[in-house]
Amino acid sequence: MVRHFRHILLWPLQLEAAHGAEVGRKPWRMLDDPRWQHRWHRVADEFTEDPRDFQERHYKEFVSFLPYVQRFLYGDPRRADDLPEGPLAAAPMRVFRRDDVRALRVTVTQGDTPVRLDVEHVDLYFFLDLDLILLNVELQANDLPLDTVQELLYRFGRAYPSGWDDAGQGLHNLYRAEWLGDDDAVLAQSDSDDRARYLAFVCQNRAPCVGAHWDWLLRPLVSDHVRDEGPLRYRQIEYHRMPFMAFLALENPRALTRDDFIHLGLISHLRPGDPLPVRDPSVTEFERRYCDDRYWSGSEAGPNTRFLCSGQSMIVVGEGKSEFFCCRERGLLAQFRHQYFLLFVIAHFHRAALLVFSDRLAAAISGLDIRSVDSVRLFKRRIRAIFALFLGFTHRYWFPEISERGQVQSLFRRASTHLGNDALFAQVKEQVAEMSNYLDSDSARRQSNTVVRLTVVTILGLIGSVSTGFLGMNLIAEAEAPLLHRINYFVVVVLASALLTFFAIAKSKRLSDFLEDLSDESLPLRKKVVALFRAMRNPAPPEKTSERGVLK
């Protein structure tokens, strides 16, 4: 029996602005538009005006992280002196919350007794300069059978069904999930059994269809693939299975077998009750890969707290009779909801942000048409914007170490390793650097071509300047002529000079080749003369890929 159960879902989503507009540096400002009626409201942080109201659990959360992580999570007061919202305005992360959802009622499979879980909160996390949000849902319940808890962990938190059985019910999904409001009024419910809706949506949009209860929860944000209007549009970043955390206070955690722990630790991939793949490395090396047992003794005296971290999930198992384990203010439950939750947020935020950058690069390349000057210019602007944003991400958000506390840092590294964040960061950094180097080399090529043209024009102009300067006289003595005559002479000279200059620019590439041949002492005079005539001839017909297609 699970005496106390906590389930925290975290769903990363990519943001898109409506009608092709930019999302902006502060995407949460879109929710302030009075045209959109919604239940989301900004959450003030825990740093109250009166220090006597500041809670100890929030203090412990704050001091668990290194200073640069504290600035990311809570803002920098040194930058907030002139900001109307104080230090909160300087925080790169903003939280919005809706309070109308009171509970979740779920039916695991058809015919089962519905289970009611209280909703602790439903939050949206926004980040400065990033087209990314995190949906966070925290649920709690008491006195649930372990089998029910495992089914909830396995089935709840799927954005859409992965298929249907012969009876038309969604595979791996809950039979029914209902958001409840005041007086247990049903606000929205799942529709995983509506097979026709999901098939039609994918067929028409070539994108997955979000379940009705998740779509309702995110409103007024709307999916990027629907025609509904909304202040912001979102797209799925990764697999439809949402990352989650779970807190299980058991009557006797020592009664769990190794197979039980493996099913819990790998619940994202293993259906409860299925036989274990005994030769799979994730099973044979389960303790080394996924378990943090520094507080697990397996004895009556305790402690008996085990952390299971697979990247996609983080589960804490302990004794329900332990006062420290279940304490909301100073115990492990408080740490689970604060310190451990935030390290889980940071790990998944890192991965989601890197995937968004990779998607932006791919979109920039896909939209490039080298035959269109406008497309080339848009491509260059996109790449420069991505480079600037990635530079800001690297210095503002990316930190391999978040805490000096051994277990906090260990769990963060374990989660990041399973998610492959370091390898993904290196890959995206290399991609951004390649794009930036390409633009730099293209700019250097353009500057080189400009220098060549200026050199040719200067040499041709130098011939005339030296000649007239050496003669030291005016070829046309019209200093005393009427003003109108002098103006006419001036216009004629300007036009002749302009035509000569434009001619030199037009022939600058061929003339530069001629000058190079002329300076080559090994070439005979005949070939130099041939090079001059070749430079003055009309150019050969252009190939299919014109000069306009080259990035300029």
Average pLDDT, whole number, for the chain? Answer: 85
223 in any annotated domain: yes
Please tell me which residue, 425 or 536, carries the higher pLDDT value: 425
The band of 84, judged by pLDDT with boundaries at 50, 70 and 90, is: low
In a domain, 516, yes or no: no
CB 320 within 8 A of CB 250: yes
Burial class (CB in 10 A: 0-12, 13-18, 19+), 235: middle
What gap in Å lies between CA 136 and CA 101, rounded to an integer? 13
**Residue 229 in tokens:** 């209007």
Beta bridge partners of 116: 105
pLDDT at 403 over 90: yes
Number of domains in the chain: 1
What percentage of the chain has pLDDT greater than the value 90?
51
Q: What is the CA radius of gyration of the chain?
A: 34
pLDDT digits (tens, 9 = 90+) for 151-208: 999 999 999 999 999 888 988 999 999 999 999 999 999 999 999 999 999 999 999 9
Angstrom distances, CA of residue 63 to CA of 165, 172, 256: 50, 40, 34
440, 497, 536 from 454: Cα distances, Å? 21, 15, 18
Domain-located, residue 200: yes
With 70 as the cut, is the pLDDT of residue 81 above it? no
Q: Is the pLDDT of residue 238 over 60?
A: yes
| Of the ranges 21-35, 82-96, 500-514, the best mean pLDDT one | 21-35
Question: Which of the listed ranges 81-90, 238-247, 435-444 does the model predict with the highest average pLDDT?
Answer: 238-247
Q: How confident is the model at residue 424 (pLDDT cuts 50, 70, 90)?
A: very high
Q: What is the structure's pLDDT at 552?
A: 43
Q: What is the pLDDT of residues 197-212, one digit of tens each?
A: 999 999 999 999 999 9
C-alpha distances (whole Å) from 151 to each of 36, 123, 248, 271 are 37, 24, 14, 8
Write down the pLDDT at residue 439: 83
User: What are 312-369's pLDDT values in tens digits?
Assistant: 999 999 999 999 999 988 899 999 999 999 999 999 999 999 999 999 999 888 888 8
Q: What is the pLDDT of residue 129?
A: 86
Report d(CA 515, CA 531) in Å as an integer: 9
Tell me the Ramachandran region of residue 322: left when phi exceeds 0, alpha when psi lies from -120 to 50, beta otherwise. Answer: beta
Range scoring the smallest mean pLDDT among 58-67, 84-93, 317-326, 405-414:
84-93
> Confidence band (pLDDT; 50, 70, 90) for 146?
very high
Q: What is the 3-state secondary structure (H, E, C) of 226-277?
A: CCCCCCEEEEECCCCECCEEEEEEECCHHHCCHHHHHHHHCCCCCCCCCCCC
Q: State the average pLDDT over residues 221-248.
A: 90
Whether 196 maps to a domain, the answer reads yes
Task: From 145, 126, 497, 513, select the one nearest 345 (Cα to Cα).
Answer: 126
Judge whether 508 lies within some domain.
Answer: no
Alpha-carbon span 412 to 64, nearest angstrom: 12
Residues 260, 546: Cα–Cα separation, whole Å:
66
Is 116 contained in some domain? yes
- Give the percent of the chain with pLDDT over 70: 83
Listed residue (27, 231, 33, 31) closest to 129, CA to CA: 27
Per-residue pLDDT, 545: 41
Alpha-helical (H) ranges within 11-137 are: 56-63, 67-74
User: Is residue 450, in this structure, part of any structural domain at all?
Assistant: no
The two three-digit tokens of residue 77, written as one number: 């007061």
Query: Which of 226-230, 431-435, 470-474 bottoms out in mean pLDDT, i.e. has the lowest?
Result: 470-474
Write out pLDDT tens, residues 95-145.
999 999 999 999 999 999 999 999 999 999 999 888 899 999 999 999 999
More confidently predicted of 386 and 495: 386
pTM, to two decimals: 0.83
Q: Which of 253, 367, 368 is nearest to 315 (CA)?
A: 253
Across residues 386-393, what is the average pLDDT? Answer: 91
Confirm if 97 and 40 have CB atoms less than 8 A apart: yes
- Burial level of 14, CB count in 10 A (0-12/13-18/19+)? buried
Cβ burial of 260 (10 Å; 0-12, 13-18, 19+) is middle
pLDDT band at 548 (very low <50, low <70, confident <90, very high): very low
**Average pLDDT, integer, range 251-269:** 93
* Residue-wise pLDDT tens digits, 54-76: 788 888 888 999 999 998 888 87
Residue 23 has pLDDT above 70, yes or no: no
Name the residue range of residue 162's domain: 1-45+91-249
User: Is residue 449 domain-resident?
Assistant: no
